[in-house]
Amino acid sequence: MLEKVSTSKKISSREYEEQLPREQVRLRELEFQIYKRQVPVLCVFEGWDAAGKGGAIKRVSEMLDPRGYTVSSYAAPQGEEKTHHYLWRFWRNLPRAGHLAIFDRSYYGRVLVERVEGFASEEQWGRAYAEINEFEAHQHSFGMVICKFWLHISREEQLRRFQDRELDPFRSYKLTEEDWRNREKWNAYLQAADDMLLKTSTQYAPWTVVPANDKRYARVQVVKTLVSAIAERLDS
């Protein structure tokens, strides 16, 4: 499925400078509306290493009132997190009514990295699709807006970004041996991502695949999609 996605979509600098601020202003207006209407919003980001998740999150949040949103970033579970069901640590950071929560990586790690790296058994990650769908259904029934983004870049673009990071003293810390190791398992991650998108994109919590070779295009599409989802919920 992902192999058929064109990653070459792009916009010009002028289009970016016109469209992004407009969508960000609209998002800020909607932030106040979800507070007034007490609507919780969850925004989940997944994607390839170096796909631009951090940059997209920055553009989502940079015009928002900091009192109205939180950003949670997730890596491998540690300490007490390992002694609970894998969804436990995500429950704690879900948005309360009237707030926006942004997840930089998420519970989908169960069917991505944990599957590919063998941290979860086939039985465990196999049943996780239904568990996650039910988990999101609970949030939907609470009135939550759920937006899920997969930022998709080509393998060639990922290599170019890795090499750029390697040479940049301000960003080289972001590139680790684990990133190179994961890259060697591209096909396994591609299959896992395809299965995830197929089995967990629902009417109440749909996935949006964002072509992200062009960062400007990806950032505009993310903010625009989030604006549309929140506005649709408020209108209904």
pLDDT of amino acid 174? 83
Confidence of residue 197 (pLDDT cuts 50, 70, 90): very high
pTM: 0.95
**CA dist list (Å): 89 to 121, 128, 159, 196:** 20, 15, 32, 20
- C-alpha to C-alpha distance for 130 and 181, rounded to whole angstroms: 29
**CA dist list (Å): 224 to 45, 56, 105:** 15, 11, 20
Mean of pLDDT over the chain = 96
Strand segments, DSSP code E, in the chain are 41-47, 69-73, 100-104, 145-152, 207-211
The superfamily (CATH) of domain 2-235 is P-loop containing nucleotide triphosphate hydrolases (3.40.50.300)
- C-alpha to C-alpha distance for 149 and 165, rounded to whole angstroms: 23
pLDDT in tens, 14-30: 999 999 999 999 999 99
pLDDT in tens, 56-92: 999 999 999 999 999 999 999 999 999 999 999 999 9
Task: Break the chain into its structural domains and give their ranges.
Answer: 2-235
